[in-house]
Amino acid sequence: MNKSESKYFNTAKKMDKALISLLEEKSFEYITVSEICKKAGVNRSTFYLHYENTINLLDETVRFLLDDFSSYFSVDAKSITNKFQDSSLDELNFISNEYLLPYLTYIKENKRVFSTVLLHSVSFGFDEIFQRLYQNIFNPILERYNYPIADRQYAMLFYLNGITAIVKEWLKDDCQKTIEEVSQIIYECIFGYESNGC
């Protein structure tokens, strides 16, 4: 990365963080370019050099957060997708420490950011993200299990909303329980209290 690309990246990162910080205080619709610039320590002309409007910044911020989140996992999306074709059914389980521990680690290390994203899930396009996850990951897994097509979306919403509810409670308690304890709670909620664990 050359000096100008590095400067561009650092400025963009400042504005991403400024937007996230402002979202802790108010809804996206009420955030102005001036507020973002003030929080990021840049002038308006710099903002418009990078973005046409605040929606463009929000789109970039979502990508920034997803990239940061993905960096916590040792596997990439492509290897997960390949796993659907070749794995036995017992290996197609994403409710395990392999996936829960990096997910919960990200949340604990980014409590404020994750709480803000949950609070503004519509602004961050969670519905679109869910649809992509559903099409690329969840649906192929359910297909392998011969899960009825008409019920698949309900099943995935049940899992995701249940896990999200546990995470929200954990955040409300300022992540007092360990990552391993919360992973075990999620596992037991899905597979039953008497199960062997992750």
Q: How far is CA 178 from CA 108, 141, 151, in A?
A: 9, 29, 34
pLDDT score, position 55: 92
pLDDT score, position 123: 80
Q: In 3D, which of 168, 62, 166 has the Cα closest to residue 111?
A: 168
CATH of domain 3-57: 1.10.10
pLDDT score, position 34: 96
pLDDT score, position 35: 97
At 123-159, the pLDDT tens digits run 888 778 778 877 877 888 888 888 899 998 898 889 8
Enumerate residue ranges in the chain where pLDDT < 70.
1-7, 75-85, 91-94, 194-198
pTM for the full predicted model: 0.78
**Domain coordinates in residue numbering, the chain:** 3-57, 72-191
pLDDT score, position 169: 96
Q: How far is CA 135 from CA 84, 96, 154, 172, 177, in A?
A: 13, 21, 14, 31, 33
Identify the DSSP state of 87.
S
pLDDT score, position 167: 94
Helices 97-109, 179-191: inter-axial angle, 10-degree rounding: 130
pLDDT score, position 198: 61
pLDDT score, position 117: 85
